[in-house]
Structure 1
Amino acid sequence: MTASRPLAVIILAAGQGTRMKSSLHKVLHPVAGRSMLLHLLASVAELQPERQVVVVGAGREQVEKAVEGKGVALAVQDRQLGTGHAVAQAHDALAGFAGDVLILYGDVPLVRAETMRAMLDRLARGDEPRAVVLGFRPDDTAAYGRIIADGQGIIEKMVEYKDATAAERAVTLCNSGLMAVRSTDLFVLLDRIGNDNAAGEYYLPDIVMLPGAQSAVIETEAWEVAGVNSRIELAGVEAIWQARRRVEAMRDGATLIAPDTVFFAHDTVLGRDVVVEPNVVFGPGVGVADDVVIHAFSHLEGARVESGAEIGPYARLRPGAKIGRRAKVGNFVEIKKAELAEGAKANHLSYIGDATVGAGANIGAGTITCNYDGFFKYRTEIGAGAFIGSNSALVAPVTIGDGAIVGAGSTVTRDVDADALCLVRPAQDGKPGWATRFRKKMQERKAAKANGTA
């Protein structure tokens, strides 16, 4: 920040959110795997605010739990009397604070820290405006409040859509609602506004038009101040976030074969020369190193993939999965809380959970680690260079030694020594001619039944 004054942030989150039709508080609905409110707080954190206040109404308990341990104070707006009234509820939480105040909205989650800095910098400029308002020019101005400003960004008038004339509604510069104000002015100004308007509410923008000082507007792109009042708008904000993240990933050296089909989480990390095929989903907590290939229709969450590894197609990496260098996790393989060391392979139709798979080990198709007895989880240890035959069940807790071979179809309940062969299946018994005799007998029985002689 070039502005050196202390900073406080007020986030308005007291709206009912009825159009979401949800028992979850509106600002806690996720975008890219993280709630809108936490997205906003993450951006705010880059500015190192001295105080943070979230103004809540209904659903206070949910918000309180979401921000626990994040240095956030809550203020309560019991009655919904407008944005000006909502900001006024933060008065006690900011008692004794002297500095700048940013006013943000919990359902406008994409605002960048750079934009917030720009608002504060404009507030600190030599002409010292009373307030700085963030404006934007949407393709559809709809029912947004309008800002009439001169060529220098000095605001001549701000008006809510419901109170605007036809000429004012023709203006394309709209009010996002976001604002920067000095703390010494904010609550004094709020005490001076009234509610003589179409909605009978106390509008925060009205402080701009009070006599005594001028205010300024700076502009940003419409996507950055997109708000969420419905599931449809939530999907729109998700789409904006994903589109920008895909571009960022490709600029940083990843190849997305079909970008529109790849979905990232807020904290996904991709290395250089990673190839992501179509229809891949990254949940929270995924880190992918350089030179990894993630084949189509794979889902990764809470997983770490080291360089040169190959994932999928149709693979699932669940939390705690650690895939080593040049390891392979293939078709319809699920890995949970398990580590595959360098060069290990699980290529087909397997479940590996609560396990360690040593370097160069090979897990045959249909193998599962039986890690749960209905009450507790147990671990499976598979040594380096071990070979687990197809359709084997490893009943944990169990250890397969280095270089051991488990024959196909085995159910292993005891440890297997290094370099040993483990076979757990009955001897094969062949009965010559049995199939011919069986078919003849059954055909005769079927014919007798059809003739009524059975």
Structure 2
Amino acid sequence: MSTALVILAAGKGTRMNSDIPKVLHPIAQAPMLVHAMRAGSVLSPEHTVIVTGHGSEAVASVAEAEDEKASIAVQEEQLGTAHAVAQARSALDGFEGDVVVLYGDTPFLQSDTLERMIAARAENDLVILGFEAADPARYGRLIMAGNTLERIVEYKEASDEERSITFCNSGLLTCNSQTLFALIEAVGNDNASGEYYLTDVVEIARNQGLRVTAVACDEAQTLGVNSRADLAAADAVFQSRARIALLEQGVTLMAPDTVYLAADTVIGRDSVIEPNVVFGPGVTVESGATIRAFSHLEGCHVSRGATVGPYARLRPGAELSENARVGNFVEIKNAEIAEGAKVNHLSYIGDASVGAGSNIGAGTITCNYDGVMKHRTTIGENVFVGSNTMLVAPVTLGDGAMTATGTVVTRDVESEALAVARAKQENKPGYARKLFDMLKAKKARRNKGS
């Protein structure tokens, strides 16, 4: 049976105290909505419908960037969860498969849970996802009779006996598309909030003689994010899981709790990650690489055997080949560092390519920006760039070339040539003492005047 996802992402998230829609707040540097979409993608859905409301354009932009085929349905008024799902009806017109309803602020749902929900749907008309709560608090309780879900009882309406139940409602469900929208049509808003609640479909389905059940998952998968504190807790959960996964995959984390990972970080086994390393989005580190302490990586690729840091920054477009070395206080942006090349100290290499075996001396800078346009620097193989060299792009250094320390390179250097471009040094005997005496006298006059 084909499936469709309906992801509810219309809420403002008042408790977040933010102008940003709640579902766009990041966990591991990816919006919560993206986590939910990736969780649902395991089902290979035929349709994905994102129901937006507050900040609709921003939410739609993120959703479409993640899945260009995603449909957007707008809930103009937030009249409850059943009303939100109803907005997806036109986007699913003619679709006869199963609908899985997810929430954009529930980022940790696991693939096996969704698969078990779909499997249970084969024998039931409606499947609700529940969880055993450590502290049931004010969650709605799932009242079961064997494998049948009889009803959902909200906390404020539950008896003492029902409140003792720890099997609680997550709000997620799956149902045949036509059945679901027919059930939603029967949902009323005769309640204190005047809203149309999706949970009411359980009672309606039971009254119609439909088969209803609940599937259980661990509570962590249903963790919702409603405040900044929740967001921090959710990020901590993600980081803990991701670090454990890396350790199990054979990655050495010298101080795991100090390493911050992005949602899409990929690190190969036998790599070593030293303390206080931050991975931004889009980073791949191949096996056997070393990322040393206090480095920051984003949008880059580090090949086998390469070393980065300490205190290095790799920005988007940085490409390090095998056994390349990027050392302390070095920044690489949109540049390729070929096999065995070294940029070890206090340098900026941007919009450039560095050939195999080349050595970039301390304090070297590619001057890639003229105030309007970016320009590229090309450094050949086995080039030695002397310390404190300024490479004013666009410029090319041929294979085996060398620049003298302190050189400002403004035109191409042919292969095996030495470039020297600096003023001649002159030493003036006694001038240092004369200059200091003059400056001290000037300072004394100034202090006397004040």
- TM-score of the two chains, using structure 2 as the length reference: 0.93
Does residue 49 of structure 2 align to residue 39 of structure 1?
no
What's 2:129 paired with?
134
In structure 2, do the counterparts of structure 1 residues 74 and 434 end up closer, same or farther at CA, with 3 Å as the change threshold?
closer
What's 2:140 paired with?
145
Does residue 359 of structure 2 align to residue 365 of structure 1?
no
Shift of 1:351: 0.3
Matches of 1:35 and 1:76, distance apart in 2: 19
Q: Secondary structure at the match of 1:46?
A: helix
What's 1:291 paired with?
288
Shift of 1:328: 0.7
Matches of 2:440 and 2:178, distance apart in 1: 102
What's 1:165 paired with?
159
What's 1:7 paired with?
3
What's 2:226 paired with?
229
In structure 2, do the counterparts of structure 1 residues 13 and 391 end up closer, same or farther at CA, with 3 Å as the change threshold?
same
Does residue 327 of structure 2 align to residue 333 of structure 1?
no
Matches of 2:333 and 2:168, distance apart in 1: 49
Does residue 73 of structure 2 align to residue 79 of structure 1?
no
Percent of pairs with identical residues: 54
- On the 8 A contact 1:323/1:341 being kept in 2, the answer is yes
Matches of 2:413 and 2:176, distance apart in 1: 72
Matches of 1:386 and 1:218, distance apart in 2: 64
Does residue 348 of structure 2 align to residue 351 of structure 1?
yes
Deviation string, structure 1 residues 184-209 (Cα, Å, up to 9, x no partner): 32122222333333433222112212
Q: Secondary structure at the match of 1:204?
A: coil
- On the 8 A contact 1:163/1:197 being kept in 2, the answer is no
Matches of 1:57 and 1:94, distance apart in 2: 18
Match of 2:81, as an amino acid? T
Q: Secondary structure at the match of 2:77?
A: coil
The partner residue of 1:412 within 409, 414, 422 is 409
What's 1:245 paired with?
242
Shift of 1:397: 0.8
Match of 1:56, as an amino acid? T
Gaps of 5+ in 1: none
Deviation string, structure 1 residues 26-54 (Cα, Å, up to 9, x no partner): 21222222222222222222212122222
What's 1:255 paired with?
252
What's 1:266 paired with?
263
In structure 2, do the counterparts of structure 1 residues 258 and 153 end up closer, same or farther at CA, with 3 Å as the change threshold?
farther
Matches of 1:176 and 1:48, distance apart in 2: 22
Shift of 1:148: 2.0
- 1:412-431 correspondence to structure 2 within 5 Å: 412-431=409-428
In structure 2, do the counterparts of structure 1 residues 7 and 416 end up closer, same or farther at CA, with 3 Å as the change threshold?
same
The partner residue of 1:380 within 363, 377, 380 is 377
Shift of 1:157: 2.8
Shift of 1:103: 0.9
Matches of 1:15 and 1:438, distance apart in 2: 69
Deviation string, structure 1 residues 272-319 (Cα, Å, up to 9, x no partner): 100001111111111111110100110111111111110000100001
Q: Secondary structure at the match of 2:101?
A: strand
- On the 8 A contact 2:325/2:343 being kept in 1, the answer is yes
Matches of 1:119 and 1:367, distance apart in 2: 58
- 1:380-399 correspondence to structure 2 within 5 Å: 380-399=377-396
Shift of 1:442: 5.2
Q: Secondary structure at the match of 1:67?
A: helix
- On the 8 A contact 1:153/1:218 being kept in 2, the answer is no
In structure 2, do the counterparts of structure 1 residues 393 and 448 end up closer, same or farther at CA, with 3 Å as the change threshold?
closer
What's 1:66 paired with?
62
How many pairs were matched up? Answer: 442
Matches of 2:87 and 2:351, distance apart in 1: 50
- TM-score of the two chains, using structure 1 as the length reference: 0.92
Match of 1:115, as an amino acid? T
